[in-house]
Amino acid sequence: MQGKMKVAVMNGIGNMGFVERDIPRLADNEVLVKLEYVGICGSDLHYYENGRIGDYIVKPPFVLGHEPGGTVVETGKNVRHLKIGDRVALEPGKTCGHCEFCKTGRYNLCPDVIFFATPPVDGVFQEYVAHEAGLCFKLPDNVSTMEGALIEPMAVGFHAANQGGAHAGQTAVVIGAGCIGLVTMMALKAEGVSKVYVVDIMQKRLDKALELGADGVINGMEQDAVKAVLDLTDGNGCDLVIETAGAEKTTQQAVHMTKKGATIVCVGYNATGMVNLPMSLALDKELTIKTVFRYRHIYPMAIEAVAAGKVNLKGVVTNIFNFDDIQNAMDSSVRNKEDIVKAVVKIIK
């Protein structure tokens, strides 16, 4: 397909604009996707506010966005499993396929990954994208392209649950009720965890957690979260904590609220990159501490869970912004984090 497309670019910190670019040309193993919805991720907001995440520095004009869903409009000559008209969710990271991590199935750890909206690689706040067909997953008829856009954060939630060995009979606590915390809570419930409690300091986010299926919530501004978890577990502590807030205090609380032999999965990034932990207590409890970097082999599982009604991805979305309104979408998401739990940009008119 030839022609021009509209692209939203970050021109500088806090400054969005639009440019016109050529519609991408396909490689033989790629499909061209007309994008319909793209989620706004916390990393997008961090780049927008600060211009960098660690060593990844934005050099404007830069395209944000890595949570896309859309419809195939053209296929490369070697593509067999997709056709024009198929609606797809796009996994945003292309890996090398040859390193030790790719060869052992841990492709999310590939050092040469090319990932949408991770500088210097542009993201997908645009009308079309050409993407490797093997990373485009067909959506069932009862799964919308908006839900397809949210498969990316949902995959993080399932990977976190899997890292924690989630299973029936457990009591789990999710710290943080942002988008990742909420999808993690739903992933835990979908994998059979018996009780899932959610901790946050924003009541509106906790209300959303209850709406989406949490067994109970704890407002950390009004309660001692550790004491509340111990009370809920008859003093035993929980089996699993998934920490998505990325704060030092909440990571420390995770050590205190777990029972002996429990698992803590750290998902949230700390602003400084450093966390002090009560290691003597962690050692005494023989805790397992795991971490999460994106996900691997999760998209089919996540799509199936949505199609089966095991997770309510639509319920996570609190705001939908039109593509033309992307400046307001970014500014509002930065300023109003209590009310805007998850925003998506509607690319199609």
CA distances from 295 to 56, 146, 158 (A): 20, 20, 8
| SS3 per-residue string spanning 198-257 | EEECCHHHHHHHHHCCCCEEEECCCCCHHHHHHHHCCCCCEEEEEECCCCHHHHHHHHHH
What pTM does this model have? 0.96
CA 293, distance to chain mean position in Å, is: 11
Domain boundaries, the chain: 4-150+317-346, 156-291
Backbone angles phi, psi at 44, to 5 degrees: -60, -45
The pLDDT of residue 55 is 87
Q: Distance between terminal CA atoms of the chain?
A: 20
DSSP bridge pairs for 52: 57
SS3 267: coil
Report the distance separating Cα 2 and Cα 31, nearest Å.
Answer: 14
Specify the pLDDT at position 123. 98
Ramachandran angles phi, psi of 158, nearest 5° = -65, -40
**CB contact at 8 A, 69 and 149:** yes
The H-assigned helical ranges of the chain are 42-50, 100-103, 145-149, 151-163, 179-190, 203-211, 225-232, 248-257, 279-285, 299-307, 326-335
Query: For residue 120, is the peptide bond before it cis, meaning its omega torsion is within 30 degrees of 0?
Result: yes
Was domain 156-291 assigned CATH 3.40.50.720?
yes
DSSP characters over 131-154: EEGGGEEEPPTTS-HHHHHTHHHH
Q: Kindly give the confidence (pLDDT) of every residue in the chain, 349 residues in length, as a single tens digit, with 9 standing for 90 and above.
A: 899 999 999 999 999 999 999 999 999 999 999 999 999 999 999 999 999 988 899 999 999 999 999 999 999 999 999 999 999 999 999 999 999 999 999 999 999 999 999 999 999 999 999 999 999 999 999 999 999 999 999 999 999 999 999 999 999 999 999 999 999 999 999 999 999 999 999 999 999 999 999 999 999 999 999 999 999 999 999 999 999 999 999 999 999 999 999 999 999 988 788 999 999 999 999 999 999 999 999 999 999 999 999 999 999 999 999 999 999 999 999 999 889 999 999 999 8
- The rounded distance, in Å, linking the Cα atoms of 116 and 68 is 10
- Torsion region of 26: left, alpha or beta (phi above 0 gives left; psi -120 to 50 gives alpha): beta
Among residues 324, 330, 322, which one has the least CA distance to residue 346? 322
The CATH classification of domain 4-150+317-346, taken from the options 3.10.110.10, 3.90.180.10, 3.40.190.10, 3.40.50.10420 = 3.90.180.10
CA-to-CA distance for 36 and 310, rounded, in angstroms? 24
pLDDT score of 349: 83
Tell me if 4-150+317-346 shares its fold with 156-291: no
